[in-house]
Structure 1
Amino acid sequence: MRRNQYEITVENLSVNYGGHHALKNISFSFQSGHLIGIVGPNGAGKSTLIKAVLGLEKFSGEVKVFGKGIKEMRKKISYVPQRSSIDFDFPVIVEDVVLMGRYTYIPWYKRIGNKDKEIAMNALEQVGMESFAKRQIGQLSGGQQQRVFIARALAQQADLFFLDEPFVGIDATSEDIIVDLLRQLQKEGKTIFVVHHDLSKVEKYFDQLLLLNQELVGVGKVKDIYKPELLSEAYKGSITLFENKDKMMVVSN
């Protein structure tokens, strides 16, 4: 594929619930190799945007991945949902959770092979969870659980990643491991979208930003979008901004 080709293009994407606009006319394009933060206030439609792009929500508009529809490119797209949406009481061990990332490559009539198990274990090693392979997922801490679901995404060997609030309720060590891993994926030419709520870490974590409040407020390089006037427009008084010569501070109201 040509390096200058857009990996993902979204045009005029809208989502409506009973006549209410959850998202309205969202358009953006990104080439490969970006780590993109999706930020905005509560109720802005951040998670809805991810689900619509993945075809998990009904929407109007168009979504293309390397010029093709989502269904055609499903194998190359990985999704890590919010942990709150997952039933951790279900009796499944860590290794089997990660192996789920391989299902898209395995015909229904075949069993999981040694190669798939090797890929799954390599993914667990990348997130520092290989020693927990036989542990039940519900027995892990929040940070450990999140690292396992990142490993599942890695095992899928996708090119395009969507993570919904991956840092909520996890420990600092797990957050550092995940951020380092996302940066490595970016260096490998992967494209990663991350729904994120902590504005104080936006400049540290991302190179691109998608600022949202039902409509698109701004999209582009962090240095061009992470600005007081755009943040104020998106958050509409729900944050207070303090600036000095070195850094902009953000305080929730």
Structure 2
Amino acid sequence: MAANHPEIKVESLSVNYDGHHALKNINFSFQSGQLVGIIGPNGAGKSTLIKAILGLEKHIGEIEIFGKTIKEMRKKISYVPQRSAIDFDFPVLVEDVVLMGRYSFIPWYKRASLKDKEIAKEALEKVGMTEFAKRQIGQLSGGQQQRVFIARALTQQADIFFLDEPFVGIDATSEEIIVKLLRQLQRDGKTIFVVHHDLSKVEKYFDQLLLLNQELIGAGKVADIYKPELLSAAYKGSITMFGNKDNVMVVSN
């Protein structure tokens, strides 16, 4: 594969609901080894974009992963949905949730192997949740639950990761652990897409950005996209920049 071949390429992607554009004519491409933030106002289509790329939303347009279709590359992709979409009352142990990430590699007529269980154990260690392995998932805090679902994603040993709002409703310790883990995945050559809402941390967390509001406002390096004029266009409001070291931007709709 040529070095300049994009790992993920999206062309003319649109999603419609009852004649309404949830996403309209989205085009972008990214090379491998990128940590990409997907930002935009509520209702911009951020989650819809991820689901469309994964084939979970009906759409028109072309999506290529390493030059192949999403169906051909399914096992190379891992997805962590919003926690609000998960039933935490279901009586399942943490270790079993993590092991679910191996199911696509296990024939239906076989049980998880020792290797599968070891991969799951290592994933729990990476997110600092080993001591909670026998705990029921609904008994954990929001941050702990998120770390468990990221551990499940790790067991898939994917090349591309999609995380939908992983930092919502979690504690500072969990957020720090997750960010460090995402950076390590990036150093390992993985590509990670993260739907994110906290603009004050964009420059700290990401290298690349997708800025959406149903249409693509911008895609590329953070320095090129994280600008008042582009943010204002996306959020349709005023941007106030504070001169502190974090370069915080506040959006007023």
What is the CA deviation profile of residues 208-229 of structure 1, one whole-angstrom value per residue up to 9, with x for unaligned ones? 0000000000000000000010
Work out whether residues 78 and 153 of structure 1, in 8 Å CA contact, stay in contact via their aligned partners in 2: yes
Q: CA deviation at 1:201?
A: 0.1
- Segments of structure 2 that go 5 or more residues without pairing to the other structure are none
> What is the aligned partner in structure 1 of residue 249 from structure 2?
250
Q: 1:172 to 1:247 in 2, by over 3 A?
A: closer
Unaligned runs of 5+ in 1: none
Runs (4 or more) in structure 1 with deviation over 3 Å come to: 243-248
In structure 1, what residue type is equivalent to 2:211?
Answer: L
What's 1:240 paired with? 239
Aligned residue number for residue 31 of structure 1:
31
Q: Does residue 106 of the first structure (1) align with residue 96 of the second (2)?
A: no
- The verdict on how the C-alpha distance between 1:247 and 1:149 changes in structure 2, with shifts beyond 3 A counting, is closer
1:3–1:32 CA contact under 8 A, matched in 2:
no
Instruction: Give 1:196 shift.
Output: 0.1
Provide the C-alpha distance between the structure 2 equivalents of 1:80 and 1:3, rounded to a whole number of angstroms.
28
- Report the aligned-residue RMSD: 1.2
Q: How many residues align?
A: 252
Following superposition, the deviation at residue 246 of structure 1 comes to 5.5
Q: Does 1:132 align with 2:128?
A: no
Cα–Cα, structure 1 residues 92 and 242, in superposed 2: closer, same or farther, change >3 Å?
Answer: same
Deviation at 1:241, TM superposition (A): 1.7
Question: Could you list the per-position Cα deviations for residues 35-84 of structure 1 after superposition, in whole angstroms to 9, with x for gaps in the alignment?
Answer: 00000000000000000000000000010100110011000000000000
**Alignment pair present for 1:225 and 2:236:** no
The answer (yes or no) to whether the contact 1:94–1:132 under 8 Å persists in 2 is yes
TM-score of the superposition, structure 2-length normalised? 0.97
Q: For the structure 1 residues 115 and 211, does the alpha-carbon distance in structure 2 shift closer, same or farther, using more than 3 Å as the test? A: same
For residue 7 of structure 2, give the secondary structure of its aligned residue in structure 1. Answer: strand
The CA distance in 1 between the partners of 2:189 and 2:119, in whole Å, is: 19
Letter of the structure 2 residue corresponding to residue 63 of structure 1? I
**Whole-angstrom CA distance in 2 between matches of 1:244 and 1:9:** 36
1:211-222 correspondence to structure 2 within 5 Å: 211-222=211-222
Q: Distance in 2 between matches of 1:172 and 1:100?
A: 27
Contact 2:13 2:26 in 1 (8 A): yes
Structure 1 distance, partners of 2:179, 2:51, is 22
Instruction: State the distance in 1 between where 2:251 and 2:210 align.
Output: 19
Going from structure 1 to structure 2, the CA distance change for 1:18 and 1:113 (only over 3 Å counts) comes to same
Task: Please report how far the alpha carbon of residue 248 of structure 1 lies from its aligned counterpart in structure 2 after TM superposition.
Answer: 3.5
1:163 aligned onto 2:168: no
Whole-Å separation in 1 of the counterparts to 2:245 and 2:204: 14
Cα distance, 1:102 vs structure 2: 0.4
Distance in structure 2 (CA, Å) of the matches to 1:22 and 1:236: 17
Find the residue that maps to 1:50 and give its secondary structure.
Answer: helix
Aligned equivalents of 2:158, 2:203: Cα separation in 1: 25
Q: CA deviation at 1:242?
A: 1.9
In terms of mean alpha carbon deviation, does 243-252 or 219-228 score higher? 243-252
Q: Secondary structure at the match of 1:193?
A: strand
Aligned to 1:190: 190
Q: Do the aligned partners of 1:210 and 1:218 also contact (CA within 8 Å) in 2?
A: yes
* CA distance, structure 1, for counterparts of residue 10 and residue 4 of structure 2: 17
Q: Map 1:54-133; keep pairs closer than 5 Å.
A: 54-133=54-133
Q: Please give the secondary structure, in 2, of the residue aligned with 1:149.
A: helix
1:100-155 CA deviation, whole Å, 9 max, x = no partner?
A: 11011111111111000000000000000011111100000000000000000000
CA distance in 2, matches of 1:245, 1:200: 11
Deviation at 1:164, TM superposition (A): 0.2
Q: Is the 8 A contact 2:38 2:193 kept in 1?
A: yes
Is the CA contact (8 Å cut-off) linking 2:228 and 2:239 kept in structure 1?
no
